[in-house]
Amino acid sequence: MTRRAVADIEASRLPAEQLRTNFSDVAPPLDSHQALIAAQRCFYCYDAPCTIACPTGIDIASFIRSLATEDRRSAAQTILDANILGGSCARVCPTEVLCEGACVRNGADRPGAEQQPVQIGALQRYATDWVYAEQAPLFTRGADSGKRVAVLGAGPAGLACAHHLARHGHRVEIYDPKSKPGGLNEYGIAAYKVPDFAQAEVQWLLSIGGIELIHRPGLSKTVNLEAMAADYDAVFVAVGLAGVAALNIPGEYLPGVRNAVDFIADLRQSEDLSTLVVGRRVVVIGGGNTAIDAAIQSKRLGAETVTLVYRRGFESMSATGHEQEFAKAEGVSLLPWAQPRQFIGEEDCLSQVEFERTEVDADGQLVGTGAGFRLHADWALKAIGQKLDAVPLAELALHRGKIRVDADYATSMPGVWAGGDCAFSEGDPDKQDLTVQAVEDGKRAAVAIDRALRGEQE
Q: Which is nearer to ligand SF4, 61 or 403 (CB)?
A: 61
Q: Could you give the CA distance from residue 244 to residue 242 in angstroms, rounded to a whole number?
A: 7
Rounded least distance, CB 99 to ligand SF4, Å: 3
The 3-state secondary structure of the chain reads: CCHHHHHHEECCCCCHHHHHHHCCCCCCCCCHHHHHHHHCCCCCCCCCHHHHHCCCCCCHHHHHHHHHCCCHHHHHHHHHHHCCCHHHHHHHCCCCCCHHHHCHHHCCCCCCCCCCCCCHHHHHHHHHHHHHHHCCCCCCCCCCCCCEEEEECCCHHHHHHHHHHHHCCCEEEEECCCCCCCCHHHHCCCCCCCCCCHHHHHHHHHCCCCEEEECCCCCCCCCCHHHHHHHCCEEEECCCCCEECCCCCCCCCCCCEEEHHHHHHHHHHCCCHHHCCEECEEEEECCCHHHHHHHHHHHHHCCCEEEEECCCCHHHCCCCHHHHHHHHHCCCEEECCEEEEEEEEECCEEEEEEEEEEEECCCCCEEEEEEEEEEECCEEEECCCEECCCHHHCCCCEECCEEEECCCCECCCCCEEECHHHEEECCCCCCCCCHHHHHHHHHHHHHHHHHHHHHHHC
Rounded least distance, CB 196 to ligand SF4, Å: 20
Rounded least distance, CB 210 to ligand SF4, Å: 25
Rounded least distance, CB 82 to ligand SF4, Å: 8
Rounded least distance, CB 383 to ligand SF4, Å: 23
Rounded least distance, CB 185 to ligand SF4, Å: 13
Rounded least distance, CB 58 to ligand SF4, Å: 5
Q: Could you give the CA distance from residue 199 to residue 5 in angstroms, rounded to a whole number?
A: 36
Interaction site with ligand SF4 (CB under 6 A): 54, 56, 58, 60, 83, 89-90, 93, 95, 98-99, 120-121, 124, 436
Rounded least distance, CB 197 to ligand SF4, Å: 15
Rounded least distance, CB 66 to ligand SF4, Å: 14
